[in-house]
Structure 1
Amino acid sequence: MAEAEAAKTGGRRAERRVQIARAALAVMAREGVARLTARRVVAEAGLSLGHLTYNFDGMDEVLSEAYRLLSADLAAAGEAALQGADGPKARVSAFLRTGFAAPFLTPDHLRLRLDLWSAARWHPGIAATERDLYERYRARLEGLLAPFGADPARVTAVVDVVMAALDGLWLDHARRADQAALARGLAECEALLFSLGPEGSGGQAAGRDPSPR
């Protein structure tokens, strides 16, 4: 009985943490991280300040949880996209392009990404969360490349370049919203990844789709 009650309490607390973190994302999307305060977050969530202080050690932890939620949304969308992809190249392409499709290219979402990247520079807890999420995304991408059978050192080098390029595409799109430039950038990232396949340059040609899916 005690264990069941503890599990129920833990479930309620987990739900409340998500509610508060979602509220923090809403405030940041609307007003920016500079105006994010505990009072604004609980007002957005329709809760008292005590709910935040009971469930979180401080605003850094709220930001870290918000970052995890934002990345979990992207990861879930990526996994869903993989379900309809047939073959290693299609799976790589679907995974890569998920983060550059609706709803992840909206101005609000781009603002959230930029604000959280910026916050990670000054808050160790958020920085640790960002590093963990980066490594998870990278490991998933490398796992999707495993069927290509490429030399591991070459995979590491190519993924280094592609990960940096993806961050650059996010930043460039936030600044210019140039869809054609985004399409070209994604096609080049695919071409580089597909070059790891057994057909080499033939894989590059297959990656040059002129528009994001």
Structure 2
Amino acid sequence: MSAEDKPRARKAPRKLSEANINRREEILQATERVLRQEGYSGLTARKVAAEAGFSLGHITYNFNGMDEVLSETYRRLSGRLRESTASSDAADAPPLARLEAFLRAAFTAEFLDPGHLRLRIDLWSAALTSEVIAATESGLYAHYRSDLETHLLAVAGDDAARRTQVPVLTDTLMATLDGLWLDWMRRRDKAGLRNGLAGCMALVRALLP
């Protein structure tokens, strides 16, 4: 992203009007489309403005810069994932079944779409060089990890020994899920994906018998 394409930083308005909210949403949708088409390396504020059909000044007025635009785009992306995993939760199902549904909800066709995965990985890369995006990514990761840990604690029940295994399982499963997304992007191997998710559940059953 070139320096000339970065909108000048500004202070966010204290209260957004409905028109501002709608305009921000259109800009974020346009940003996601540009990222899907061209990736992070091809993203510029000018391309986003053109995709949205606005002048560059609309981005400057509605956001504090492209780092904020990217952060909010990542929030929308992760928000859809959390909504999907939350909607998979059947309150009357056993804890182990709820955990399995939670894990599988992150690997539906929507989240395995190449454009979605490219956008996700590009935003991970952007977090390496932007403190703003890194903070957003860290917070969203923590939310998802907390949701996973809650499911694992439900499986462990009140058994103290089993509950001590939950932090190990949580970290292992989080790393495995990230690996499954990356492996899918490389190989598109349905059997490999099924085996990976089955392996996650086998590990849970082994450590939380």
Q: Which amino acid aligns with 1:40?
A: K
Q: Which amino acid aligns with 2:167?
A: T
- Residues 120 and 127 of structure 1 are in contact (CA less than 8 Å); yes or no, is this contact kept in structure 2? yes
Offset, 1:85 = 7.0
Backbone CA RMSD of aligned residues: 1.8
Find the counterpart in structure 1 of residue 71 from structure 2: 64
Q: Provide Cα deviations, 1:61-88, integer angstroms capped at 9, x if missing partner.
A: 1110000000001111111111487221
Unpaired segments of 5 or more residues in structure 2? 1-13
Stretches (4+) displaced over 6 A: none
Q: Which amino acid aligns with 1:66?
A: T
Find the counterpart in structure 2 of residue 206 from structure 1: none
TM-score (norm 1): 0.84
Q: Provide Cα deviations, 1:95-144, integer angstroms capped at 9, x if missing partner.
A: 11111111110110111111111111111111111110110000011112
Match of 1:160 among 152, 163, 171: 171
Q: How many residues are paired up?
A: 192
- Residues 85 and 94 of structure 1 are in contact (CA less than 8 Å); yes or no, is this contact kept in structure 2? no
Find the counterpart in structure 2 of residue 189 from structure 1: 200
Q: Provide Cα deviations, 1:34-71, integer angstroms capped at 9, x if missing partner.
A: 11111111221222222111111111111100000000
- The 5-angstrom pairing of residues 7-46 of structure 1 reads 9-46=16-53
TM-score (norm 2): 0.85
Q: Which amino acid aligns with 2:107?
A: F
In the alignment, the residues of structure 1 paired with residue 29 and residue 61 of structure 2 have an alpha-carbon distance, to the nearest angstrom, of 17
Find the counterpart in structure 2 of residue 77 from structure 1: 84
Q: Which amino acid aligns with 1:161?
A: T
Offset, 1:16 = 2.4
Offset, 1:12 = 3.3
Find the counterpart in structure 2 of residue 209 from structure 1: none
Unpaired segments of 5 or more residues in structure 1? 1-5, 201-213
Q: Which amino acid aligns with 1:65?
A: E
Find the counterpart in structure 1 of residue 127 from structure 2: 120
3-state SS, counterpart of residue 103 of structure 1: helix
Aligned pair in 2 of structure 1 residues 131, 85: CA closer, same or farther (>3 Å)?
A: farther
Residue 178 (structure 1) aligned with residue 185 (structure 2): no
Identity fraction in percent: 50
Aligned pair in 2 of structure 1 residues 95, 49: CA closer, same or farther (>3 Å)?
A: same
Match of 2:96 among 89, 107, 115: 89
Match of 1:129 among 128, 133, 136: 136
